[in-house]
A and B are shown apart, each in its own frame.
Chain A
Amino acid sequence: MQLFLEQVFNGIGAGAVYASVALALVLIYKSTGLLNFAQGEMALFSTYVTWWLAAEKDIDIVPAIVLSCAFAFVAGAAIERILIRPVEGSTHNPLNVVIVTLGMFLAINSLALLIFGTEQEQMPNVFPKDSYDIGGAALQKETLGLLAMLVGECAVLWALLQKTKLGLRLRGVASNAESSRLVGINTGLMLMLGWGFAAVLGALAGSMVASTRTGFDASLMQIILVYAFAAAALGGFDSLIGAVVGGLLVGVAQSLTTEYVTALDGIETVLPLGLILAVLLVRPNGLFGRRTVERV
């Protein structure tokens, strides 16, 4: 029981990170309808920026993360404007923008290697390293911290999208860009903001997860991105709640299989992908996704 609880806690911690990246993916999917393969590498670059500010410039870790998020916001918005917008839209082959994000995936990763070096780096701790005792099982404070990050992100996103004029405009563009333009919304600006927010979510997740590990290198986000894809598909690609639920489910399921299912030793990735397959076969639009209605 104690071991089980510990595995569940670990799973929740990992799941919070997947959920956070999945939120970023969903945010971009909702506004532009595309799958951003470069999301993980954008997060990786911001993580390196955090590390550089904290380790090389001696800034405290929390302000460093804030600065890095600001950087991510600007960079994300710039990427949308400069790289995505010219190839995106109904007149273009939708695969072109996929190729652009794949190109970014490769390019950003190798730029990070070039600028920050190929060695393992150590991110300063954000959360204390000790743990609480719950029924004999250790609950790491880091897990609580990651969970708090996720809850905070959800609260801010909810308040932003549901309670502000800006959020209304963002949602308008996501549901119908054409009509939004007709009522005077600057759709281009909204798309840039959407990408900016998504990049911030990625930067937060990357910096936090790096600080809980003993070291990180340029491959940090790749496996996380696969799990985040699984999480987003599980929850339904157009649902923010789905991303959170999906992320936590994938995290817990992964941690439990690693512990208990010896037949899958070394091939734990089977699980999240098997999970997506099973869920999508029953619910083709994910757990919380909305069915698309087709008109002829």
Chain B
Amino acid sequence: MAEATETKTPLFPPMPAEIRNIRIALAVVITAVALYAPFYFDETNNKIISQALYLAIAAMGLNLLTGFNGQVSIGHGAFFGLGAFTSARLMADYNWTFEATIPLVAVLTGVFGLLVGFPALRVRGLYLALVTLGLAVLFPQVANKPLLKGDRAIALVQPKPSGFESLIDGLDDDQWKYYVCLVVLVVLFVAAWNLTRARPGRAMVAVREQELAAATQGVNLSVTKVATFAISAAYAGVAGSLSVMIDGLASATNPAAYFQLSIEFLVALVIGGTATILGPVVGAFIVVILRRNTSDLIEGKEVLSPAIFGAALIALVYLLPDGVVGGIRRLFARVGQRRTSYEVATDTT
């Protein structure tokens, strides 16, 4: 690369104009679509889209941990569930409005993430994946008594708050819920974007690439890893909390449910693109669409639905080994004739 010969290259060099223009146009279109979507779709589809949004938030949390920091977790369903149960319990027993439970859930799951993050310092790689797997499998059984009082489920129907009548009068219930999800998603994604481009984010990536080298450069390994774990758990918790609002239910009846959720987070992350900001959203939509639409694709052969989902996953990984967003980036790089060093720095190896 020609730039490498220069004495000093800026960390984020200016993007080629074509790419910047495409990006700006894309951002405008996406914003418009996101704002208009709930009026275009019907109630069922709005619910599905909202599900994709909370799945995206959880996948983003996992992205911080797995994509940027390199700690693989297949147990984030446990944090998701903790968020869901806490919100549900607060709303059912203490008459909290849903929106008020979100900050509390974020703090609670963050603390819980800290508690898991400390032992996670000792185990790494595959072993960490298995310990977190255990967490997800255990969670519904252990949480059933204290959080669900042994009922195995809390069903809730929470209407939109009646406070700001004039502001949200025109919105139906499903539209209001969609916008709540959207706002939370945007706030959390902007936060994640800033985090990953700042000093802590670079520390996270350095730890992922080579722990010893990062440590010799003055990165505090323990603080970085544990803090990432806590933040990532908080994301999953908030997502779980949103799921209670969207689905109207927090349930521990299926013991494998939170394990399956953890898998969905990971799948959304990888097929969207690890260590990218938009990847989790793209991946979440792909997962939700695949999960919905494979169930009635072939008449009378519902058992085949997981097979189609599985085959689609394998095909996606084949065709786009660095995820959808990674694939688009490569396309952009070709358009711009060169890759910026920012893209090189965030590529996963």
Contacts and interface: CB of A to CB of B under 8 A. Distances in A.
A287 to B, nearest CB: 12
B130 A106 contact: no
Given A107-B310, A229-B133, A280 B263 contact: no
Contacts of A104: 310, 314
A79 B310 CA distance: 14
A277 B313 contact: no
A93 B276 CA distance: 13
Name which of B312, B313, B314, B349 has the most chain A CB atoms within 10 A of its CB: B314
Contact of B317 (A87, A108, A230): A87
Interface string A5-21: 00000000000000000
A102 B263 contact: yes
A104 B318 CA distance: 14
A118 B302 CA distance: 12
22 contacts: A95-B66, A95-B266, A95-B270, A99-B266, A99-B314, A100-B313, A102-B266, A102-B310, A102-B313, A103-B310, A103-B312, A103-B317, A106-B309, A107-B309, A110-B305, A110-B306, A114-B301, A222-B256, A233-B126, A233-B131, A273-B134, A280-B127
Interface in B132-165: 133-135, 137-138, 141-142
A108 B306 CA distance: 9
B72 A107 contact: no
Interface string B299-327: 00101111101111110011001100000
Contacts, number: 134
A105 B119 contact: no
SS of A interface (majority): helix
Interface residues of A, number: 47
A134 B141 CA distance: 37
A141 B302 CA distance: 41
SS of B interface (majority): helix
B305 A281 contact: no
Interface of A: 29, 35, 83, 86-87, 91-93, 95-96, 98-100, 102-111, 113-114, 118, 222, 226, 229-230, 233, 237, 266-267, 269-270, 273-274, 276-277, 280-281, 284-286, 294, 296
A96 B321 contact: yes
Given A273-B134, A280-B131, A284-B122, A110 B321 contact: no
B166 interface: no
Interface stretch (B16-24, B95-103, B209-217): B209-217
Contact of B310 (A92, A106, A222, A273): A106
B65 to A, nearest CB: 12
Interface string B111-132: 0000000010011101101110
B303 A113 contact: yes
Nearest to B122: A284
